[in-house]
Structure 1
Amino acid sequence: MELNELPGSELILPGLEDILHGKNNTIGALLIAIASIRLTKAGLDIPNQPLASEPELALYAHLQQEHDDAYSYYNALLNSLNSFCSALELKSRYQ
């Protein structure tokens, strides 16, 4: 199974590219910063670039600029992140 087949990869994989190119304040990059320890333990190579500090707050602030109801989008993004992390952990456990 490839990473792009994991649930939530449509958010995480572009976030990896963003971090690689020095953009650490995009939605994907912030999600990676939120779960960087978990993702690293599951075997994901995160580019050696600075991650956003307080990524949860930065993500919520980012969403407030785009949506009237940022809370529901925030929760949906965290659920997608959790799905990706869980699938990656299972993938790494059975390889």
Structure 2
Amino acid sequence: MSLHDLPGAEIILPGLSDLHSGNRNTIGALLIAIAATRLTEAGLDIHNYHLAPEPELTLYALLQKEREDAYPHYNALLNRLNSFCNALELSHKYKPSNNALEPTSKRSSKV
């Protein structure tokens, strides 16, 4: 499964591009900073990026500048982020290993 196929990819993937180019205060980049641990554990390499401190507060402040009522949009973005993380974690967990392709008789029988 491609990252582009995951729910929320339309927000998260541009955020990765933003971080790569040094822009850490976009909606996508802030969402990545919020879930950095989950995303890293699920296989994304984001260790080399300089993430924004206090990304939740920064994201909310950014949304307040753009909208009169930022709260519903903030919650919707966090839900999209959670959907992306859940799907990425599942795809990482169930990624086929090379060992699964070997005949059963060649696999180790250690328990």
- Cα distance in 1 between the residues matched to 2:21 and 2:48: 11
Which structure has more RCO (C-alpha within 8 Å, separation ≥ 6)? 1
TM-score by length of 1: 0.98
Q: What is the Cα deviation at residue 46 of structure 1? A: 1.4
> After superposition, where does 1:1-95 map in structure 2 within 5 Å?
1-46=1-46, 48-95=48-95
CA contact (8 A) 1:15 1:29 kept: yes
Shift of 1:47: 5.8
Report the CA distance between 1:29 and its aligned residue: 0.1
Q: CA RMSD in A?
A: 0.7
Alpha-carbon displacement from aligned partner over 1:20-64 (angstroms, at most 9, x marks no partner): 000000000000000000000000111612100000000000000
Q: Which amino acid aligns with 2:92?
A: S
Runs of 4+ aligned residues of structure 1 deviating over 4 Å after TM superposition are none
Alignment partners' CA distance in 1, 2:44 and 2:11: 14
Any stretches of 5+ residues in structure 1 without a counterpart? none
Larger radius of gyration: 2
